[in-house]
Amino acid sequence: RDNTEQSAIIRATLDGYRATLDDIGQQILELVAAHMTEREIAKIVGISNVAVHKRIVKMRVALEILRAA
């Protein structure tokens, strides 16, 4: 696959995954993509650092599973 096709597949996978998230999850995903720290994200979305960390770990696992499929 060329890079354009691979990028399109990744984008479609990410968009599909984003649609499964609640509002806070979508916001966290966008803030992670914007290179914000877990502490910064926690302040913005109004949940604890630990809760943000747990959500990010679950997102990474889910995205790895989707990528491997």
pLDDT tens string 13-67 = 888 899 999 999 999 999 999 999 999 999 999 999 999 999 999 999 998 888 7
Q: Looking at residue 1, what is its pLDDT?
A: 57
Q: Looking at residue 45, what is its pLDDT?
A: 98
Distances 33 to 30, 36, 37, 69 between C-alpha atoms, Å:
5, 8, 10, 22
Task: Assess whether pLDDT exceeds 60 at residue 4.
Answer: yes
Q: Looking at residue 40, what is its pLDDT?
A: 98
Distances 31 to 3, 4, 40, 41, 45 between C-alpha atoms, Å:
25, 25, 9, 7, 10
